[in-house]
Structure 1
Amino acid sequence: MAFKNQGSSPSALVIEDIKVDSVVLLRMLQKLNCEVTVARNGEEAVDLFLRGKIFDIVFSDQDMPVMTGPEAVAKIRAMGATEVKIVGISADFGGMEAFMQAGADVFVPKPMKLQTLESLIQDVIRKKNMSG
């Protein structure tokens, strides 16, 4: 189901080192009319924020080379990116605590379901429409 939204499509950042997982999430987000950027690890994601990129929502995997998801989330929050909704994703339920301590808004176990994704995107669109 595509969303009718006033204004621009929500911009999403997917931080995921496993190609197949990032492609699945990318396709689901595109179905929901999101503009998607993919980073292969936390460091790439942090670099995007350092370069001034702005996202409405970030989906971060937990275990990645170079910089883990929770490390990236903590750095992104420390840069002052407080408005962006950050979703931690992991097959490991122990990941919830790490993400929440790092400053994530939500934790979702893998595999991500389309309806879960859809409700997260709807929240972001509602917030965008209220502030815009």
Structure 2
Amino acid sequence: MIIDDSRAMRSILRRILAGLDFETLEAGNGREALDLFEAGQVPDLCLVDWNMPLMDGYTFITEVRANRDWRDVTLMMVTTESEQGQIVKALAAGAHEYVIKPFTPDAIVDKLELLGLVNREVLA
């Protein structure tokens, strides 16, 4: 699931994930994403922006981590927030990885490989 209030950013991330054979859902903010979770559409992976209306990415991560049924979801922040304190806060809240915008497609693939979700050798 791609959670970002920018349609353009969701499109960029969708293309990267599609190239890795991921099926994607999209949400424009954390509240929309939680609504999808509550409706039973719980993904294996969420790429989460921090700054969004209604519910920001940090709050979304804390909500997901508070629900025992969703603890297996891999959460990766993809955001412009680059302060060390913000990164530590997101990781402490339950994010598995953190990518700072702007990024290259390889940066996303590298993080997904680190998380064991893709195998670059298979992609080659």
Could you say which TM-score interval applies, normalised by the shorter chain? 0.7 to 0.9
Gaps of 5+ in 2: 120-124
1:87 aligns with 76
- Partners in 1 of 2:89 and 2:54 — Cα distance? 17
CA shift for structure 1 position 125: 4.9
Aligned pairs, how many? 114
Q: Is 1:43 aligned to residue 31 of structure 2?
A: yes
- Partners in 1 of 2:36 and 2:65 — Cα distance? 13
Q: Is the 8 A contact 1:14 1:37 kept in 2?
A: yes
Q: Is 1:53 aligned to residue 34 of structure 2?
A: no
Give per-residue Cα distances to partners, 1:24-71, cap 9 Å, x unaligned.
Answer: 111111111110000000001111111122211110000000000010
Query: Percent of pairs identical after alignment?
Result: 27
- Partners in 2 of 1:27 and 1:67 — Cα distance? 25
- Partners in 2 of 1:60 and 1:45 — Cα distance? 10
Q: Relative to structure 2, which stretch is displaced further, 87-96 or 65-74?
A: 87-96
Gaps of 5+ in 1: 1-12, 127-132
Q: Which has the higher contact order (CA 8 A, sep 6+)?
A: 1
Question: Of the candidates 105, 118, 125, which is equivalent to residue 109 of structure 2?
Answer: 118
Q: Quick check: which one's strand share is greater?
A: 1
Pairwise CA RMSD: 1.6
Question: Of the candidates 108, 123, 127, which is equivalent to residue 99 of structure 2?
Answer: 108
SS of the residue aligned with 1:67? coil
